[in-house]
A and B are shown apart, each in its own frame.
Chain A
Amino acid sequence: MKRIVMFAAAALAVVFAVGSAQASTLDDVKARGVLNCGVNGPTGLTGFGAPDDKGNWTGLDVDLCRAVAAAIFGDATKVKYVPLGSKERFTALQSGEIDFLARNSTWTLSRDTDLGLDFVAVNYYDGQGFMVRKELGVSSAKQLSGATVCVQTGTTTEKNLGDYFRTNNLELKSVVFETADQARQAYDEGRCDAYTTDASGLASERTQLKNPGDNIILPEIISKEPLGPAVRHGDNQWGDLVRWSFFAMLIGEEFGITQANVDEMKASSDNPEVRRLLGAEDDMGKMLGVDNTWAYNIIKQVGNYGESFERNVGLKTPLALARGLNELWSKGGLQYAPPAR
């Protein structure tokens, strides 16, 4: 009898407790003392988000997690990394398991609307490409009719692939795998003639092949893949913070503020935008709901966008990606931050 009463009480408690607990994400994160950041899983994507041999997460996306943590806590290490596969990433964000998603996800209309998400920025402009073995003698994606293509499930890739082959009247045979690792392995073993994913992903995956040099990436880019961080729809304050944490890194690069000279810039720069950004003037941080030294902390601890790019995916890394579209707009690229004013 006693047990039944307790069970009933517990059940009712559950029913009423879950009802209405919806504080703002920023308050939740501050109270928790750590940022839950969704990154590429289960094994990561080299250069964008992957654990190194000591288990520390590094990458272009990971730097976004660190930047937001630096803005909130003044400490870029206060991040709990949650590795997510392509299928569960959005559900994890919707359900509140993570505070934001920094996992090379493509900004699309349906994801922006149907999924209840907001994409707040583009930290990597990408496009889908193909990798083939050199011995195949193929020099263009248009020659791939009848070819077998390995692809990872749960991405925009699968549908782009279908669209491209359909519009070009090519015959498609695709083999779809759960993870990028398995798709790459199947390609490497020869199950497929081609492997397709975002061009940056191809560069990353190529470093993992048995003989990277035997494979080429075809020139065609068959889609636009603006990759960027996503937050839950409806919490604009939180969206603003994530967006401006990224912009702070861009503005940092624009004005030549680096990890090395940020202290000096803060102390002696007479550029008003730099002074505002670094918290020497005005209350930019307060407006975002964090400390005025937010951008200073980001650049001091994580670096500006250019530094992050070169460190993780740039020409001196195994990925060897050129800046290309991801160059600042002032140097012919697409990366453009609104003014910090």
Chain B
Amino acid sequence: MTGLVDRASGLTGSSVPLWKNRTARALFYQALVAGLLLLLTAFFVHNTGVNLAKRGIASGFGFLHGIAGFDISFKLVSYSLTSTYARALLIGLLNTLLVSALGVILSTILGFIVGVARLSNNWLIAKLAAVYVDVIRNIPLLAQLIFWYFGVLSTLPGVRQSIDIFSLFYLNQRGLYSPVPELQPGFGIIPVALLVGMLGAVLVSAWARRRQMLTGQPFHSFWAGLGLIIGLPLVVGLLFGFRMVWSFPELAGFNFKGGFQIAPEFIALLVGLSIHTSAFIAENVRSGVQAVSLGQTEAGLALGLKRGIVTRKIVLPQALRVIVPPLTSQYLNLTKNSSLAVFIGFPEVVAVFAGTTLNQTGQAVECIALTMAIYLVISLIISAFMNWYNRHIALVER
């Protein structure tokens, strides 16, 4: 507003009228568009409300406290047939977050490997990676999910003919069954050791970094850190005993009882999402690496550094600045794409809430609004984190 006033007052007495003032016109049109948009939004909200009332459709979020009464097969926290719709929403949300988080990690690892492989000097590896990218990118995700679920996992043997792996693991159509430790009192010391090990790894890495800055001497801080994180809990466990009992899967009645079951719906979704997204990430990685001038590599080699070090310490840090922004949208895509899970029976937030709950309660507007809000918030959080990371790795000029 101040710009307008300054301009206007500065022009007092001049021959330029207000409607020919560029700033004033810009402000006027923006206000007009914003006003119209507001009017339109208000109309839609009002119209929805009026129509809902006219059709006698109940509205409000009170239904969330009602008893859901349907089963959800895959849950991270407790849920029973007497839980509320709000609880069902939480289960769906946690499932979405779990599969998205694991999918992001897996697709990143796979994408980087394939992306770098595409640039390999080895003809076969480069071509295989190129074929992988082109095939995966050009098949719709839903088709891939259905392929993994109905095409691959469904062809596993039935429960009674399970593939027996050392009588510890069982693989069948109902998923992968593995032994699971049931923790006993006194187990707490192991996670403490793990935390100490992780802290130690951070300290070692900081120390190694400083030493290299001062003396130029490199230190294998990665391996030392890994040793600390894995070794310390192991040593503590051996000294004080691992206080846990193993629960083994056993065939009883219709299914296996005990142990830990990974549902085929979950596996199919995770594999499908990770592979699909990894192909896109591979292209991001390839373009990012190619964006770094070849001179950088040549300079590194001329200094006598090994190829691996050149890639890791010279090329990738510069490539990351190109890779990270599109990587963010791939993470967002993966998260949103997880909603296709409804077609292969995995209960994530869309299936549980925008599907079953919506239909049981008939609260379409509320259920869809909440679901959209959830995806919006998840996306904004991912976006904010990736932007922070992007600034963090941006080239610092000294």
State the A residues within 8 Å of B (CB): 4, 7-8, 11, 14-15, 18, 86-87, 90-91, 94, 110-111, 113-116, 136, 145-148, 150, 153-155, 158-159, 161-163, 165-166, 172-179, 182-183, 185-186, 189-191, 193, 232-234
Given contacts A116-B56, A146-B252, A173-B255, 7 further A-B contacts (CB under 8 A): A15-B39, A155-B359, A166-B82, A174-B70, A176-B70, A176-B345, A189-B150
Which residues between 1 and 40 of chain B lie within 8 Å of chain A, taking CB atoms? 29, 32-33, 36, 39-40
Contact A8 B55 (CB under 8 A): no
**Distance in Å from the Cβ of B25 to the closest Cβ of chain A?**
9
Task: List, in ascending order, chain A residues with CB within 8 A of B55's CB.
Answer: 94, 116, 232-234
For residue B239, give the distance in angstroms from its CB to the closest CB of chain A. Answer: 41
Q: Which of B38-81 contact A (CB under 8 A)?
A: 39-40, 43, 47, 52, 54-58, 68-73, 81
- Contacting B359 at CB < 8 Å: which of A15, A87, A189, A234? A87
A183-B154 Cα distance, complex, nearest whole Å:
13
**B292-318, CB under 8 A of A: which get 1 and which 0?**
000000000000000000000000000
The answer on a CB contact under 8 Å between A166 and B81 is yes
A162 in contact with B69 (CB, 8 Å):
yes
Among B47, B57, B71, residue most surrounded by chain A Cβ atoms (within 10 Å): B71
Write the chain A residue with the least CB distance to B341: A178
- In the bound complex, residues from chain B placing their C-beta under 8 Å from that of A114 are 56-58, 361-362
Name the residue of chain B whose CB is nearest to the CB of A8. Answer: B36
CA of A155 to CA of B39, assembled, Å: 38
Q: Is the CB of A148 within 8 A of B255?
A: yes
Instruction: Give B154's nearest chain A residue, CB to CB.
Output: A189
Task: List B contacts of A145 (CB < 8 A).
Answer: 253
Which B residues touch A185, using CB under 8 A?
A: 150
Q: List 19 A-B pairs, Cβ < 8 Å.
A: A14-B40, A87-B359, A110-B361, A114-B57, A114-B58, A147-B254, A147-B255, A148-B73, A153-B355, A158-B356, A159-B70, A162-B68, A162-B81, A175-B345, A176-B345, A176-B355, A177-B342, A177-B343, A190-B154
B343 touches which one: A94, A159, A178 (CB < 8 A)?
A178
Chain A residue with the shortest CB-CB distance to B261 = A173
B265 pairs with A159, CB closer than 8 A: no
Chain B's closest residue to A115 (CB) is B362
The answer to whether the Cβ of B351 comes within 8 Å of any Cβ in the partner chain is yes
Residues A165 and B81 in contact, CB atoms below 8 Å apart: yes
Q: Give which listed residue, B82, B255, B264, B360, contacts A158 with CB less than 8 A.
A: B360
Q: Which residues of A contact B358 (CB under 8 A)?
A: 87, 154
Would you list the 7 A-B pairs with minimal beta carbon distance, nearest first? A116-B55, A189-B154, A154-B359, A174-B71, A115-B362, A158-B70, A116-B57
Check B344–A146 contact: CB distance below 8 A: no
**Shortest distance in angstroms between B243's beta carbon and chain A's nearest beta carbon?**
30
B227 within 8 A of A: no
- Give the number of residues in B that approach A within 8 Å (Cβ atoms): 49
A320 to chain B, nearest CB (A): 28
| Contact of A153 with B356 in the complex, beta carbons under 8 Å | yes
Q: Which residues of A contact B342 (CB under 8 A)?
A: 153, 177-178
CB neighbours (8 Å) of B58 from chain A are: 113-114
Q: Pick the residue among A11, A110, A175 that contacts B73 (CB under 8 A).
A: A175
Contacts A87-B358, A148-B174 given; does A11 touch B345 at CB 8 Å: no
Main secondary structure of the interface of B (DSSP, over half): helix
Considering the complex, give the chain A residue whose CB is closest to the CB of B150: A185
In whole angstroms, what is the CA distance A232 to B33 when docked? 37
Cβ-defined contact, B54 with A234, below 8 A = yes
Quick check: B359 and A153 within 8 Å, CB to CB?
Answer: yes
Structural contact, B81 and A172, CB atoms closer than 8 A = yes
Taking a contact as CB atoms closer than 8 A, the residue among B57, B69, B173, B253 that contacts A94 in the complex is B57
Distance in Å: Cβ of B49 to nearest Cβ of chain A? 13
A111 touches B362 (CB 8 A): yes
Please indicate the chain A residues that have their CB under 8 angstroms from the CB of B36 in the complex: 7-8, 11
Complex Cα gap A18–B55 (Å): 16
Nearest residue, chain A, Cβ from B58 = A114
Q: For A174, A190, A193, A233, which residue has the most chain B Cβ atoms within 10 angstroms?
A: A190
The CA of A136 and the CA of B253, in the complex, are separated in Å by 10
Say whether B225 faces chain A, with CB atoms less than 8 Å apart. no
Residue of A nearest to B252 (CB): A146
Kindly provide the distance from the CB of B259 to the nearest chain A CB, expressed in whole angstroms: 15
**B71 lies within 8 A of A172 (CB):** yes
**Is B378 at the interface (CB under 8 A from chain A)?**
no
**Residues on B with beta carbons closer than 8 Å to the beta carbon of A190:** 154, 158-159, 173
Of B57, B72, B254, which is within 8 A of A115 by CB? B57
> Which residues of the other chain, B, contact A7 by a CB distance below 8 angstroms?
36
Closest Cβ–Cβ distance, residue A222 to chain B (whole Å) = 13
| Given A15-B39, A166-B82, A178-B342, A191 and B73 contact (CB-CB distance below 8 Å) | no
Digit string of B343-367 for contact with A (CB within 8 Å is 1, else 0)? 1110100010001101111101000
Contacts of B158 in A (CB 8 A): 190
A174–B80 Cα distance when bound, in Å, is 12
A96 CB to nearest chain B CB (Å): 10
In the complex, the chain A residue whose C-beta lies closest to that of B350 is A178
| Alpha-carbon gap, A94 to B154, bound state (A) | 39
Residue of A90, A162, A176 most packed against chain B (CB within 10 A): A176
B343 closest partner in A (C-beta): A178
Which chain A residues lie closer than 8 Å to B57 at the CB level? 94, 114-116
Contact present for B32 and A176 (CB under 8 Å): no
* A234 engages B56 (CB within 8 Å): yes
User: In angstroms, how far is the closest chain B Cβ from the Cβ of A17?
Assistant: 11
Question: Would you list which residues of chain B between 240 and 257 have a CB under 8 Å from chain A?
Answer: 252-255
Q: Tell me, in angstroms, the Cα distance from A186 to B342 when the chains sit together.
A: 13
Tell me the residues in window 162-214 of chain B with beta carbons closer than 8 Å to chain A beta carbons.
Answer: 173-174
Expressed in whole angstroms, the Cα–Cα distance for A136 and B351 within the complex equals 29
Q: Give the docked Cα–Cα distance between A179 and B351 (Å).
A: 12
Measured in the bound complex, the distance between the Cα atoms of B73 and A93 in whole Å is 31
Q: For residue A147, which residues in chain B have a CB less than 8 angstroms away from its CB?
A: 253-255
Are B32 and A8 closer than 8 Å at their CB atoms?
yes
A90 contact set on B, CB distance < 8 A: 362
